């Protein structure tokens, strides 16, 4: 009998992107994990990072208790507030440039508990 890990499964599809290994649906349409709220202490941490980015500053937002489309919408609103580009990867919102103060103010206005992380 094979164990659960050795049975394999579709992880990525060129048509739909990342796939849920449990229900085999695209992650954005995943039904099995939709009810799961990301673990955390309820504090959103905002930091500035330049490591591995050619010296360019990037503002990182971690610990937001949102999933999928809701997190993408928050990222879109924050990027618009900063007048900058960015992306959402693995539950972390990345905004191009040093916009820590603007992001902290915008998140506090939306009712989030926010901390500045890093130096």
pLDDT digits (tens, 9 = 90+) for 108-117: 888 888 888 8
- CATH architecture observed for domain 37-119: 2-Layer Sandwich (3.30)
Sorted by where each begins, the domain ranges of the chain are 1-35, 37-119
**Do the Cβ atoms of 11 and 22 come closer than 8 Å?**
no
Say how far residue 15 (Cα) sits from the centre of its chain. 21
pLDDT on residue 55: 84
Confirm whether pTM is higher than 0.85.
no
**Do the Cβ atoms of 91 and 71 come closer than 8 Å?**
yes
Q: How far apart are CA 41 and CA 112, in angstroms?
A: 12
Q: How far apart are CA 52 and CA 67, in angstroms?
A: 26
pLDDT digits (tens, 9 = 90+) for 32-68: 755 455 556 778 889 998 888 888 899 999 888 877 7
Residue 81 has pLDDT above 50, yes or no: yes
Q: How far apart are CA 19 and CA 27, in angstroms?
A: 5
């Amino acid at each position: 009998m094979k164990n659960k890990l050795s049975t394999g499964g579709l992880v990525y599809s060129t048509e739909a992107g990342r796939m849920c290994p449990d229900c085999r649906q695209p992650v954005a349409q995943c039904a099995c994990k939709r009810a799961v709220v990301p673990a955390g202490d309820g504090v959103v941490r905002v930091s500035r990072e330049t490591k591995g980015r050619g010296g360019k500053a990037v503002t990182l937002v971690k610990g937001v208790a949102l999933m999928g489309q809701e997190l993408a919408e928050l990222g879109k609103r924050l990027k618009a507030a900063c007048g900058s580009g960015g992306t959402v990867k693995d539950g972390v919102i990345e905004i191009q440039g040093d916009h820590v103060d603007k992001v902290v103010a915008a998140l506090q206005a939306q009712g989030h508990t926010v901390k500045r992380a890093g130096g």
